[in-house]
Structure 1
Amino acid sequence: MSEPSYLTAVRESYDTVAADYFRIVKRPAEFDPLSRGMLAAFAEEVRAGRGGPVADVGCGPGLVTAYMAGLGLPMIGMDLSPEMIRLARDTHPGLPFTVGSMTASGFGSGTLDGILAWYSTHHTPPEWLPTVFAEFRRTLAPGGHLLLGGYVGDESVHPAQAYGHPVSYGSHFQPLDRIAELLDRAGLVVTARLEQRPEPPVKRPYVCVLARRPESS
């Protein structure tokens, strides 16, 4: 079975921009206080449960993966782009990284105590989000936690360039209520929602959503 065309576009685009993305993107220490607070809350929730492992899906060059490892979580980073994974391995040789897709991650059923999807699901077309969220639920152990962070809205955009290079991916922004509804349909219980107003140069609101796979499911 051939992979969805959007995955090919995302892989090829991020292989192209990887080096400049790594140079330009914010480091976790530069995140706003509320975002860092949600990351810390997620880490505390996971540590209070079984304690790991935790997958950072769409990890890019592994900057947030390493940050969360510093908060005491046993992390593994996964990204669709082999070039991003090469950068992650070179930069953080003590952490495991693997190439994979959110639609078919390769993680075993119920093997993860946490999933972090940090500004990584917006390249997923709306019709594929139920598949992605079902994969999150499948791989989470009962009682496992999900933290999803990203921009919200009600539009899809297809930039011609990003990070100084031509790209072919799309960015698909969903309202917060829609994200929460899809997580609920996938069998994940939303436990906290944080929405922040954009501050220039950011133009879109951004959110953090904490969810949990019920113990009994």
Structure 2
Amino acid sequence: MGERDVPEHHSRVRESYDAVAEEYAARIGGELAYKPLDRALLGALVEAVGPGAAIADLGCGPGHVAGWLAARGARLVGVDLSPGMVALGRREHPEVEFRAGDLLELPAANGEFDAAVAFYSVIHLVTEELPAAFAEARRVLRAGGLLLTAFHVGEEVRHMRDWWGNTVDVEFHFRESGVMVRAMVEAGFEIDARMERAPYPEEAETRRGYVLARAI
């Protein structure tokens, strides 16, 4: 998939995140401080792959998750569809390498990474794109590499046109854990763990899901 045939809804996502990049970083960039389960899962991922492992943050936004992982000894590459987010990440987290790219065509070599995280990034894909996105994640992971995903649990689609006073056009797809698991298994992963939690008081009131999978 080249630049000329990027799906229209991907272009809308890119433009929407460009529009909110600075505000997003200001509001969301410190979110791990009040998310103990997320920190525990990310910490377990770093421990599992070992010091100096290469980790990709897929749909990295302003790079706050990548920065947290890098501070714990991993070598991070953040990938995001939004050039505004990539520029912000480079400014705020110089210890991380950032690349602009689409989840369906990652700018990375086969087997380049020991692990990957995708926190609330596949939520902007339509369901039919999930197998291809996870197949791309599988492609850039070594055999036995780990993928940790986070998502909103449910079956609804929320369409946002105003985001903190900025005009946007972006959809948020909620999914049941089983949908995520099936797409990951189809793409060449086996499931190590899956869980859900209630929202923290500081978050939007949506149930959160996580799946940890291993490339086979």
Same fold (TM over 0.5): yes
Residues 65-74 or 90-99, more deviating: 90-99
Larger fraction in strand: 2
Mapped pair 1:9 → 2:12: yes
Aligned to 2:68: 67
* Amino acid in the other structure paired with 1:11: R
Query: Residues 162-202 of structure 1: CA distance to partner in whole angstroms, max 9, x if unpaired?
Result: 13211111111110111111111111011011200235553
Residues 9-18 or 90-99, more deviating: 90-99
* Amino acid in the other structure paired with 1:136: A
Aligned to 1:169: 170
Shift of 1:31: 3.3
Q: Return the alpha-carbon distance in structure 2 between the equivalents of residues 191 and 77 of structure 1.
A: 24
Shift of 1:118: 1.1
Q: Which runs of 5+ in 1 are unaligned?
A: none
The TM-score normalised by the length of structure 2 is: 0.93
Superposed counterparts of 1:104-183, under 5 Å = 104-183=105-184
Aligned to 1:36: 39
Q: Return the alpha-carbon distance in structure 1 between the equivalents of residues 89 and 54 of structure 2.
A: 18
Is contact 1:89-1:97 (8 Å) kept? yes
Q: Return the alpha-carbon distance in structure 1 between the equivalents of residues 83 and 29 of structure 2.
A: 21
Q: Return the alpha-carbon distance in structure 2 between the equivalents of residues 191 and 29 of structure 1.
A: 23
1:108 aligns to what SS in structure 2? coil
Mapped pair 1:212 → 2:186: no
Mapped pair 1:21 → 2:13: no
Query: Residues 102-137 of structure 1: CA distance to partner in whole angstroms, max 9, x if unpaired?
Result: 100021111211111011110111111111011111
Q: Please give the root-mean-square deviation of Cα atoms over the aligned residues, in Å.
A: 1.5
**Cα 1:63–1:199, aligned 2, differ >3 Å: closer, same or farther?**
closer
Aligned to 2:80: 79
Identity %: 37
* Amino acid in the other structure paired with 2:209: V
Q: Return the alpha-carbon distance in structure 2 between the equivalents of residues 87 and 47 of structure 1.
A: 28
Aligned to 1:191: 192
Is contact 1:124-1:172 (8 Å) kept? yes
Q: Return the alpha-carbon distance in structure 1 between the equivalents of residues 183 and 138 of structure 2.
A: 12
Q: Return the alpha-carbon distance in structure 1 between the equivalents of residues 5 and 197 of structure 2.
A: 38
Is contact 1:118-1:150 (8 Å) kept? yes
Shift of 1:156: 1.1
* Amino acid in the other structure paired with 2:147: L
Is contact 2:17-2:82 (8 Å) kept? yes
Is contact 2:56-2:116 (8 Å) kept? yes
Q: Return the alpha-carbon distance in structure 1 between the equivalents of residues 68 and 100 of structure 2.
A: 20
Shift of 1:29: 4.0
Is contact 2:57-2:78 (8 Å) kept? yes
Q: Return the alpha-carbon distance in structure 2 between the equivalents of residues 76 and 159 of structure 1.
A: 29
Shift of 1:26: 4.6
The TM-score normalised by the length of structure 1 is: 0.92
